Amino acid sequence: MLTIAGLNKTYPNHKRGLEAVNVTFAPGVTAIIGPSGAGKTTLLRSINRLITPESGSVRLGDQEIRTANAKALRKIRHRIGMIFQDYNLIEELAAIDNVLHGCLGGKTWLAGILGHYTAAEQARAYELLAEVGLADFATQRCADLSGGQKQRVGIARALMQSPEVILCDEPIASLDPASTQAVMTLLGDLAKRGIMIIVNLHQVDIARQYADHIVGVNQGRIVFDGPTAGLNDAALAAIYAKEAVAEDA
């Protein structure tokens, strides 16, 4: 379980990112939706502390993340994979090398710098590329792959760390419909295998189609939290309202 309680984030320019956010993420696919500037990215990035909220709690199992020291944070981040809208791959490197980077978090600094990977790690990286449908592209430079293929390399890289959770920050924003379907189906399959998937999305129709749960954010507050089937017109009106609507309103 991933539990967030009383989380607050205000940026140095006084912009409110999150306000008293309480939410528990369950297994399956959870889509975080809301208007632009609502706080979706702030919420997602608070989970692996790419953003540090000033108060509240983020717990994965019994491990507190918001206040973890550097050593503990490194361990926690190894349990949480991430994929990005712009893929965050090293374009000049082959797909396989990018996937191998997924195990850097579990290596010593020196082994990482020297690019020393064991035979088992290399075999696993190939296996994961095959799993995301890219067995024939292992030695291809990422720069030469399509957007959908790059995102699948990003997913294979995240899987390399055997994560319990994968955070997905608008993973389909740059993809065409066919690639969107491939990536969202893959994320759904990973959820069925027990990896918790949390995905920021702009498209309500995609959230409806692929998510088990929806978390709706408006002006830094959670205004909807429930199964996808409950995302009715009233819930959508609250999520996309110009003025924030309190959770208990």
Ligand X SMILES: Nc1ncnc2c1ncn2[C@@H]1O[C@H](COP(=O)(O)OP(=O)(O)OP(=O)(O)O)[C@@H](O)[C@H]1O
Nearer to ligand X, 8 or 122 (CB): 8
Nearer to ligand X, 37 or 105 (CB): 37
Q: How far is CA 137 from CA 140, 141, 147, 185, in A?
A: 5, 8, 14, 20
| Interface positions with ligand X (CB under 6 A) | 11, 13, 15, 17, 34, 36-42
- The continuous run of DSSP H or E covering 167 comes out as strand 165-169
**Nearest-approach distance from CB 223 to ligand X, in angstroms:** 13
Residue 75's SS3 state is helix
Q: At what angle do helices 147-160 and 119-131 cross, to 10 degrees?
A: 140
Could you give phi then psi for residue 101, rounded to 5 degrees?
-60, -20
Nearer to ligand X, 17 or 81 (CB): 17
Closest CA to 43 of 223, 211, 233, 248: 223
Nearer to ligand X, 18 or 156 (CB): 18
Nearer to ligand X, 36 or 139 (CB): 36
Lookup: tokens for 22: 């309480």
Nearer to ligand X, 8 or 140 (CB): 8
**Nearest-approach distance from CB 20 to ligand X, in angstroms:** 15
- The span from the CA of 144 to the CA of 98, in Å, is 13
- The span from the CA of 146 to the CA of 36, in Å, is 27
**Nearest-approach distance from CB 32 to ligand X, in angstroms:** 8
**Nearest-approach distance from CB 205 to ligand X, in angstroms:** 16
**Nearest-approach distance from CB 43 to ligand X, in angstroms:** 7
- The span from the CA of 61 to the CA of 59, in Å, is 6
**Nearest-approach distance from CB 40 to ligand X, in angstroms:** 4
- The span from the CA of 78 to the CA of 71, in Å, is 11
Nearer to ligand X, 9 or 77 (CB): 9
Do the beta carbons of residue 185 and residue 161 sit within 8 Å?
no
Burial class of residue 195, CB neighbours in 10 A (0-12, 13-18, 19+): buried
**Nearest-approach distance from CB 170 to ligand X, in angstroms:** 7
